[in-house]
Chain A
Amino acid sequence: MNIMTTRGRDERAGQTMRLGARVKPAGVWVVVLGLLAVLLPRGGVASEAMHLPKQNWPFVGVFGQFDNAALKRGVQVTVQVCMACHSLKYIKFDRLRQFGFTEQEVKAFAESQGRTKKDAMLSGMDPVLAKDSFGVVPPDLSLITKARKGYEDYVFGILTGYASESDVALARQVMADGHAADGEVREVAATLHLDPNHPEKIAETLKRIADGGNFNKYFPGHFLAMPQPLMDGAVVYADGTENSKVQMARDVVTFLAWAAEPTQTERKALGFNVLLYLVVFTLMLYALKRRIWARVH
């Protein structure tokens, strides 16, 4: 009986080895194609907007945490700048107190939009009026970092990707004589990250910039209804942090990422415990499985 079992095992081992040897090339194929499937879409399919630079967000990832000071600054930018037009309908003003704002401060935020602290964070701007001014109703920002490809990086890209004053000046200068010379076109294309192989498209883009169009490097199609919302010094931070455009963009994205899913901190904390439990539990199941199956092998 013992001898038979041993032989059976050897045969099985032999089969497995042979199978392994045969399957390998095919397995490699699967891996190669899997990789292709992941990699090709980026290089393979042309997109209109340029590739978003990856930012380092401290709140992203398994152990990511929100920085309370950044959240508070983000609230300030959101209320003082974004909420001129945009709403965050899923967040109530009162909830901002969890970052350490006093009741008075929260009341002041609400009143700046003509609301009370128990109201949702709705913009003071009338949507009909907004549509008249901008041609579109400004989208609600509650979910904005989850609702765009690129997530936080996209929102940050939009906030910092507008044509600068010097870009606009250059566009005006180039277009002043009604047409763009080759050298000029190349120079501008490099500054605005446009494809230098389509001069006629660049000329068209420059004309729109010169005419006051809102050009953004990272917006698909490049022109959007929203004028540049953040300029250096737009908000005076209560905590005295330097109010550069990039700093404000980072802070506001931090707050918007929180607003998109206020439960995410709780989720990650619970997840850590759940996984710890599952790993230990599964190891025990594996040990038990080995022990029970020892009778068969």
Chain B
Amino acid sequence: MSKIMEWVDARLPVTALLKSQATEYPTPKNLNYWWNFGSLALFVLIIMIASGLFLAMHYKADANQSFDVVEHIMRDVHFGWLLRYLHANGASFFFVVVYIHILRGMYYGSYRKPREILWWFGVTLFLIMMGTAFMGYVLPWGQMSYWGAAVITNLMSAIPLIGEDLVVWIWGGFAVGDPTLNRFFALHFLLPLVIFGLAILHLWALHAVHSNNPVGIDLDEEKDCIPFHPYYTIKDLYGMGVFLIVFCAVVFFVPNLFLEPDNYIPANPMQTPAHIVPEWYFLPFYAILRSIDFLGPFSKLAGVVAMIGAIAILFILPFLDRSPVRCFRYRPLSRQLFWIFVVDCFLLGWVGYNPADAVTLDGALPLTVVGRTGTAIYFGYFVLLWVITAFDIEKHSPVPKSI
């Protein structure tokens, strides 16, 4: 065995790579459980690619067959129901894991110097993941698949001059139809591989600068770090066990928890559902899109810009935050803003779930007002974070010199 490894290592330094980047890779010893969600995201990605590959072996992208084929997988393919429920719920759990991963980065200042490129890879991954999830949701060709695709692709028409033509080009026709379904399947197969490649770049960028930690200070690698193996291999494995318990409880016992009943109705271009809702993980952004409704003919375009801006603003977050301290533990104002931001995301999600013309509090409060306020708070987080740090408004509490 060692002879073989010697032969390989002389040609490709596999052992040295594993040693420096995996087994002996220095990792802060004070990482808490919020740091489990990065490896968890990779774990879910592998579950998604594996289950998706086997689903693709049975699936047909065809406006006349896709709905039936999904039911064929559910009923006739051996463990087809398991593949599909793993994949459909895996998407939801992927977003849960990634949202926690992103919020962890935001709270502990993991996007700050020198981790900006690492952060940008992450935001890009998030963007591509959203596109992949959106196109995957279209493939079962149920009512929500169809109408969700129609509503979201239609947004492109808001782009001045080329919008209308662009939408026709994306659809491959004058409405969402068979060509749309086919190209979405092709892209849904391709993009996870792009995600996988980007995840490797994300890891590379991580290993170039090493992990941030809950105290947010630069660590002494001799004193404060421990080898990744066995400490973090076992901790990550334990985290995966806990994750799998929750995930499998949903997959086996409430597999339709995240699915809209309407998507068990075959797509019907002649009949619009009473209420079109995207998947839960898009709801806050959907709410932001709809909240810009006061600009007359420019509302649609402004809404699209706001929705894209809500994610794009994450790219400049490393430059908005000017505090000398990374971690929000020692930044009282930032911390409060952060929790308001988290609560606001739930609020926006709720607004996005309800019909645009809904009212709440016995008719006293139109939901659009809540949506606009929520949108203002969402962007307000980034502006205020910049204001309180750029103008030294925030006084941070003492930061430990070491862990």
Contact = CB atoms under 8 A, between A and B. Distances in A.
Contact of A275 (B215, B245, B400, B403): B245
Contacts of B335: 22, 26
Interface in A203-260: 220, 260
Contacts of B256: 146
A271 B251 contact: yes
The 9 closest A-B pairs by CB, nearest first: A271-B252, A282-B241, A26-B339, A147-B264, A44-B360, A37-B350, A285-B238, A45-B358, A143-B264
Interface residues of A, number: 53
A29 interface: yes
Interface of A: 8, 11-12, 15, 19, 22-23, 26, 29-30, 33-34, 36-37, 40-41, 44-46, 61-62, 90, 139, 142-143, 146-149, 151, 220, 260-263, 267-268, 270-272, 274-275, 278-279, 281-282, 285-286, 288-289, 292-293, 296
A268 B234 contact: no
Nearest to A147: B264
Interface in B349-399: 349-350, 353-355, 358-361, 367
A146 B264 contact: yes
Contacts, number: 128
Contacts of A260: 264
Contact of B360 (A45, A279, A289): A45
Given A271-B251, A289-B238, 15 more contacts: A22-B335, A30-B346, A36-B350, A44-B361, A261-B74, A263-B75, A267-B252, A278-B245, A282-B238, A282-B241, A285-B237, A285-B238, A289-B237, A292-B234, A296-B231
A141 B215 CA distance: 58
Contacts of A270: 82, 252
Contacts of B253: 61-62, 268, 271
Contacts of B129: none
A293 B353 contact: no
A142 B346 contact: no
Contacts of B244: 278, 282
Nearest to B403: A8
A139 B359 CA distance: 32
A8 B402 CA distance: 9
